[in-house]
Structure 1
Amino acid sequence: MRTALIAWDYPPSPSGLSTAAREIAESLVLQGCDVTVFTGDRSGTSVSEGVRLIGCEIPRRSRLGRLRTYAALGHLAAPLRFRDAVLAAHVEKPFDVVEATNWYAPGVLLAGRPDLPLVTRNSTPAAWSRESVQSPRNRLDSWAADRLERRQAMGSAALISNTAEHGRRVERLYALEGVAGRDGRAHDTIGLSLASSILERAGKAAYPASVPPFRILFVGRAEPRKGFAELIEAIGLLAPLVEAGQMPDFRLDLLGVPEEDLPAGIAPATRSRLNPLGRQPDGTLFDLYEAAHVVAAPSRYESFGLVYQEAIAFGRPVVASAEDPSARDFIGKTGAGLLAERTDGPSIAHQLRHVLQSGETRGRLRRSALDAAGTFTRATLGQQTVALYRKAIAHTAGSNGHSGGRR
C-alpha cells in the first residue's frame, strides 16, 4: 500500500503532532507500506527510517506566505500548499490513501476526491485550545478554522480517534452524529504507539530516591486546555505548606514552557519552585522523565494522550484531571495515577500533596503504571491503521462505483 501522510511538522521538531506523525509513518513502514510524509516545517526532500519526507514549508514572502496574513482566508494557505504537493506526487505515482490531522484542516482541499481517499486522524480540534475571550479578528479566524475542520471531516472516507469518547465528542463538534457508520464510513478507535527509543530507555529507568526536594514534571504548552494556570495555582497553594514544614519540598520542571510564558505576579515561594525549560530535544525529555517522582498532566482534554503513555512507560505516577476522558482511560482505569476531581488549583493541589507525602502511594501507582506499560506498540498501531485504510479505500470505491486508486 502506498500512503501519504500530511503533517504540520516532523521530528526532530519537538511537538505532540510531530511525534504522532513519526509513530504513524514508521508503524506503517513496518507493515510494508510505502510511506511519504508531506511536512510543513521544512523544504526539500529526505529519507528517515524508511519514510520519504517532502518539505512543504511556505516562504514568508511568497504568494501563500502573504495569504497567511489575512484573517480567515489565511487558513487556506497550508491546505493549498499540501494539496499541490500531494497531487504532484500522486500524478507521478498514485497513492492508495492520504491521511491528515483534523487540527486546522491541512487536508481539507483533498477531501472527497474519487481517486484518493482521505483519512482524518483526530487530534484536539482547534476549538478546544483557544482562549474564551477573543478579538473580532480572532473570532473570524476561529470561525473559518472550525468550518474547514468540519468540511475535512465531512469529506473524509474514514475517521480515526484515540478513544471512543474522543470520537463521540469529535462527531458532536463537527455535527457528524449519525453520518459515520450510516453511509458505510468507518470511524475507528486507534491508540498511538511509543517510539522504541522511549520504550528502551523507559525500561531501564530506575525510580529516583525518595529524598526531597521531589521533582514534578509537566510536559506541554502554557495553555488553558493543558490546565497550566491551574497547575501553577496548585503550586502556589502547596508552597506555604512546605514553608510551614507540613509537607516535603518539591520542584516543578516545565518542559515546553519558556520563562516568558509564566504568569505575572507569582509569589517568590512559588516562583522558586518553578523551572521553565522551554522546548528541548528528546534526550532532555527522557532525562526529565527519569528524574521525575511525579508527572503532572492536569489537562482538560487530550486527544492522543502521549504524556500519559510516556509517564506510564517510565513507571511515573501521574496526577491528571477527571475532566479528560483520555485521563480516565489511561490513568484512572490502569491505576497509574490520581485524578483531580476538576481542573482547578485546589483539586490538583490535593492530589499532588497526597502523592508527594506518601511513599506507599507512589510505590503503588508506579507498580500499576509498569503493569500497564508496553501496550502502546507500533505493531498494533500499524496493523489497525492499515485495516482502517482498507475500509476507506473500499468506501471510496463503493461511493464512486469503481475501484479507483491502486491497491
Structure 2
Amino acid sequence: MRTALLAWDYPPSPSGLSTAAREIAQALAGEGCDVTVFTLDRTGTKMVDGVRVIGCAIDGNAGLARLRKWAAVGHLAAPVQFRRAVLREHARQPFAVVEATNWYAPAALLTGRHGFALVTRNSTPAAWSRSKDLTLRNRIDAHAADWLEARQAAGSAGLISNTDDHGRRIVDLYRIGSRVPHRTVGLSLPPDLLDVASASPYPDEDAPVRILFIGRAESRKGFAELMGAAELLASEVRTGAVPAFHLDLLGVPAADLPETLSAAARNHVTAWGRMPDETLHDLYRRAHVIAAPSRYESFGLVYQEAIAFGRPVVASAEDPSAREFIGSTGAGILARQTTPSDIADALRNLIQSREMRAGARSRALEAAGRFNRPYLARETLDLYRQALAAMRAGR
C-alpha cells in the first residue's frame, strides 16, 4: 500500500507530534508499505530509514509566509502548502491513503474526492491546549483553527484515536457521524528506546529521590501546579518531614520557571531545556519517579515511556489517558486533581516509601511490552482498509 503522512515536523525535531509521525511511518514501512512523509520543517527530499521524507517548508518570502501572519485566514497557509505538495506527488504516483493529525488541520484542503482515503489521527485538539483568556483577535483566530479541524475530521474517510475515551470526546467535539470508521490505536515506542529501557536497572541510590518531568511549561501539562507541589515539598524537606528530592525538567528552559518560585525550591530543580535523546535516556535511567500531571494527553507517550523504563508515575486523574495507562495498570499514583496539593500528596507517598516505588515499578514492567511497531502497523492498516472501503462505498 502506498501511503502518505502529513507532519508539522519530523525527527530529529524533538516534539511529540514529530515522534508520533516517525513511529507511524516506520511501523508502516516495516510492514512493507511505501511511505512518504510530507513535513513543514525542512526543504528537499531524502530517504530516512526506508521512509521518503519530502520537505514542504514555506519560503519566508512567499505569499503564503505573509498569509500566515494574518488572523484566522493565516491557518490556511499550511493546508495550501500541503495540498500542493501531496497532489503533485499523487499525480506522479497515486497514494491509497493520506494520513494527517487533527492538530491545526494540515489536511483541511485535502478532503473531497482525490482518489485516496483521508485518515485523521487525533492528537490533542487545538481548543484543548489554549488559554481561555483570549483577546478578540485571538478568539477569531482560534475559531478559525477549530473550524478547520472539524472540517478535516468531517471530510475524513477514517479516524484514529489513542484511547476509547479520547475517541468519544473527539466525536463529540467535531460532531462526527457514526458511519465514519473510528479505531483506537495506541502508538509504539522506538526500538532503540525500548532497548535502552530494558537495559536500565532501577537506581540503587535514593538520596535524593530523583523526579523527572518531560514536556513544556504549559497549563495542559500541569506545569504550574507541579511547581507549586515542588514548593510545598521543598518546605517539608527543610523541616525533615520529607526526604531529599530533586526535580529534573526536560523541555523546560530556566527562563520558564515561575518568578515566584523560592530560592529554596529552586535548589531542588534543574531546568534542562530541550535536549537530545541521549539526555532523555540518561535522565530516565537516573529517575526514581516520573511526574506527568497533565490535564489531557492524547498519545500518552510519556506514560508509555515511563512504563517501558519501569518508573513509577505520578499523573492526574483528570486525564483519561492517565487513568488508562497508569490507573488501570497500577504503574503509579493518580493525583485526584491537577492541583499543587494533590500532586504533592502523590509525590510525597513515592518519595517517602521505597516499597511503594518498588511495587509501582513491578506493575509498570508487567504492563510494558505492548508498545511495539508491528502492533501499531497492524491496527493502522486495518483502519486504512476500512477507510478505503468506506470511500469506495460513498462514490
Smaller-chain TM-score bracket: over 0.9
SS, match of residue 108 in structure 1: coil
**Whole-angstrom CA distance in 1 between matches of 2:302 and 2:175:** 29
- Matching of residue 346 in structure 1 with residue 341 in structure 2: yes
Shift of 1:102: 0.1
When normalised by structure 1's length, the TM-score is: 0.96
Match of 2:272 in 1: 277
Match of 1:3 in 2: 3
Aligned counterparts, 1:76-87, within 5 A: 76-87=76-87
What is the one-letter code of the residue matched to 2:277?
A: D
Aligned counterparts, 1:196-275, within 5 A: 196-275=191-270
What is the one-letter code of the residue matched to 2:83?
A: R
Shift of 1:220: 0.5
Shift of 1:281: 1.0
Of residues 356-365 and 60-69 in structure 1, the stretch that sits farther from structure 2 once superposed is 60-69
Structure 1 stretches (4+) deviating beyond 6 angstroms?
none
When normalised by structure 2's length, the TM-score is: 0.99
Match of 1:112 in 2: 112
What is the one-letter code of the residue matched to 1:53?
A: V
Match of 1:403 in 2: none
SS, match of residue 202 in structure 2: coil
Aligned counterparts, 1:262-341, within 5 A: 262-341=257-336
Shift of 1:132: 1.2
Match of 2:162 in 1: 162
**Whole-angstrom CA distance in 2 between matches of 1:306 and 1:37:** 21
Match of 1:392 in 2: 387
SS, match of residue 359 in structure 2: helix
- Matching of residue 180 in structure 1 with residue 178 in structure 2: yes
**Whole-angstrom CA distance in 2 between matches of 1:265 and 1:358:** 30
- Matching of residue 36 in structure 1 with residue 31 in structure 2: no
**Whole-angstrom CA distance in 2 between matches of 1:269 and 1:56:** 47
**How many residues get paired?**
395
**Whole-angstrom CA distance in 1 between matches of 2:360 and 2:266:** 28
Shift of 1:285: 0.6
Q: CA offsets, 1:176-221, max 9 Å, x none?
A: 2xx033xxx2000000000000100000001112421111000001
Unpaired runs of at least 5, structure 1: 401-407
Of residues 351-360 and 202-211 in structure 1, the stretch that sits farther from structure 2 once superposed is 202-211
Determine which of 336, 356, 359 is the counterpart of 2:351. 356
**Whole-angstrom CA distance in 1 between matches of 2:154 and 2:302:** 29
Shift of 1:114: 4.5
**Whole-angstrom CA distance in 1 between matches of 2:114 and 2:89:** 17
Match of 1:103 in 2: 103
What is the one-letter code of the residue matched to 1:229?
A: A
**Whole-angstrom CA distance in 2 between matches of 1:91 and 1:114:** 10
Aligned counterparts, 1:44-83, within 5 A: 44-83=44-83
Percent identity, aligned pairs only, is: 61
Q: CA offsets, 1:345-372, max 9 Å, x none?
A: 0000000000010000000000001111
CA contact (8 A) 1:258 1:279 kept: yes
Of residues 267-276 and 324-333 in structure 1, the stretch that sits farther from structure 2 once superposed is 267-276
Match of 2:152 in 1: 152
**Whole-angstrom CA distance in 1 between matches of 2:152 and 2:334:** 34
Match of 2:13 in 1: 13
**Whole-angstrom CA distance in 2 between matches of 1:392 and 1:170:** 17
SS, match of residue 330 in structure 1: helix
Q: CA offsets, 1:211-257, max 9 Å, x none?
A: 21111000001111100000000101111100111111111111111
CA contact (8 A) 1:157 1:396 kept: yes
CA contact (8 A) 1:210 1:359 kept: no
CA contact (8 A) 1:190 1:381 kept: yes
CA contact (8 A) 1:256 1:280 kept: yes
